[in-house]
Amino acid sequence: MPLPSLASSRSPLQALTPVAVIPEWISQRGQVSAALRNIEGIAIKHAVNRKGVHYYEIEIYEYTTKNRIPTNRPRHELSLPRTASLPSIGSPGCTRQSTARVERRFGEFVDLRGKVYNHAHLAHKSVPCAFCNQIINEIVWGDNQPGSLLFKFLTTEDKVMDLLAKSVNSLLALVNDNAEGHLCGGQDNIPQELFDFLFKQERATR
């Protein structure tokens, strides 16, 4: 039985179109970036002791459909930096529910800032890019310094939790506001460190 002629087919062949193949490492970075940009902020309201180890409970709040729209924010907030509108998150009067939760030791907050600083500092041989420069300034000169054990033992638990939350929110704001066109080691590794800190549950058991 002869094969049908292609010329007599009623359905024309469609032209092939090129498809961009995204390397896996770029896809992973995009997923990390999307997850971090979806976070409005974090809050720490509780601390727990597990087998003699003190953990702080991080509650992660993601943007909702309503508060994602800029016009739904009060006009005076539109010109404020991202962290300026965060006190309502996790406050006693807040009725919103966190979307994720993770526990971290005090030392892990300090380690996070140390790792982030190292990534920013080692990413450049001489002059850092604008993003890494902001990260270094935040770690060295920022107001949210959880590295002092003296602070931990001489202040109230509520103040410690507030400072730890602010230290993470400040880094989150810098990462999410970054618009650098040329990636460096700092821009590549710092979001991953922050993502692991907020979402990798196994870190809390080490």
What domain count does the chain have? 1
**Would 18 be classed as within a structural domain?**
no
Q: What is the pLDDT of residues 90-144, one digit of tens each?
A: 555 555 788 899 999 999 999 999 999 999 999 998 899 999 999 999 999 988 8
**Would 56 be classed as within a structural domain?**
yes
What is the value of pTM for the model shown? 0.73
Please report, rounded to a whole number, the percentage of residues in the chain having pLDDT higher than 70. Answer: 67
SS3 (DSSP) at 204: helix
Diameter of the chain measured on Cα atoms: 93
User: What range defines the domain where residue 48 resides?
Assistant: 31-205
Q: Mean pLDDT, the chain, as a whole number?
A: 78
Q: Return the C-alpha torsion angle 43, 173, 170, 29, nearest 10.
A: 90
**Would 5 be classed as within a structural domain?**
no
Residue 172 has pLDDT above 90, yes or no: yes
Could you tell me the strand order of the sheet in which 39-50 lies? Answer: 39-50, 53-62, 100-105
Predicted confidence band of residue 190 (pLDDT cuts 50, 70, 90): very high
